[in-house]
Structure 1
């Protein structure tokens, strides 16, 4: 039996997150879904998985149930299929932000930054410039460990450890972006949407967000101009451009991404350690030496 994986987000004011949590949890459990739903005053972000019938019932519920006051009537979902359930349980969490930037003035519901769809972006990258003739710069807004799994060719990667670092990174690297068309991207679109708005407000003129993120790009045009896979926050760990799970895993001990090649290392022990955290790894040896000094 195939499992349908749904991902979606929407920025909209929600005044009743605490009141929504119990009925949403109950409905998801009744449908046999697993995954995570984040509810915040700025909107919803969700990753859930279940049977085809359960997924269709959930989509109808989110779009049409009176509980949501019509806020998600046009919510768009990204879908992929897996052979097994990628989540262990069903969680509905209340958060301050559905993606933490620590910039409360950034409110996507009041107006999005311009977006570019996957076919148009591919055409730009094929040509090496946008429709106005400006060079296109791909800006990865994800955390460094996600970028290491795969990214667009020649994308700017500022090695951020958490998204709240993004505003300062842009301030420090404005010269890289001036006079160019900047396309911000992330896994599903949520981070690059906030990122694009921030850059517009910071005075960077030609900014777009990749509509639907990497996963929508894979769905519509495949892996053109992209190398590697796309990290996802579930037990599949990474998807290839065909949206199939790969053999990449996360270390149980330190949560580092472990490639198939690294899994061949004697330092990798499934469910225990990997080359990044094993006591005999060069990294740990160097850290121990520094501490001793």
Structure 2
């Protein structure tokens, strides 16, 4: 065997060893690749399932998103319309503002003029109030004076009425006495002069006494009953009271009221209240003179 053959044999042996190693490596690698392939296939199937599920969810989300987009588009359209309407209203409002501003500017001058007029009227009113206050004070003074004069006049009228009543009573009694004297004079005309003189003197004395009684004593009593504006007093016809007479009601020294007699009995009378400062009470004094 030559050297070439030995070399070739060695090379073939090495090649065989290499090929065997390569085959073993290939087989091992192939087994590993198959295991990896199965693992990858399993992972692929899982990923594919997950991807399909996510695609379905994405499709559902897309449909939902499309619906929401459509709803938003509709809402946007409504808002756009509202915006357009609002813009139109804004322009109209701006136009109205300009118009009203012109009117306000026009009224400002009028208001200013009114303010000046009101200021002048306030000054006039203050002056008028001051003048009115002075006039009211003067009016109160005049009213008080008038009340005083009215009271004094009423008192004088009451006194005058009392005097007139006494005068009438005196005249009536005087007429009766004169008639009686005349009858006595006629009946005694045949008698002596010495008898006539005492009769005349007696009659004259009676007349004088009657006149004295008429002019000296006022009629006095007390209040016995009160009902509304009617007042009963304790004097009547027996005391010389007549319908229409006035009595002055007093409490101590204080004037209470006047009453005018409307109904007269023998021992009592009833009158209606006239001039009054306060309501009378039972026990107040009543007199034809103050």
Q: Which has the higher contact order (CA 8 A, sep 6+)?
A: 1
- Give the number of the structure whose residues are more often strand, by fraction: 1
Flag the structure with larger Rg: 2
TM-score, with normalisation over the residues of structure 1? 0.19
Higher fraction of helix: 2
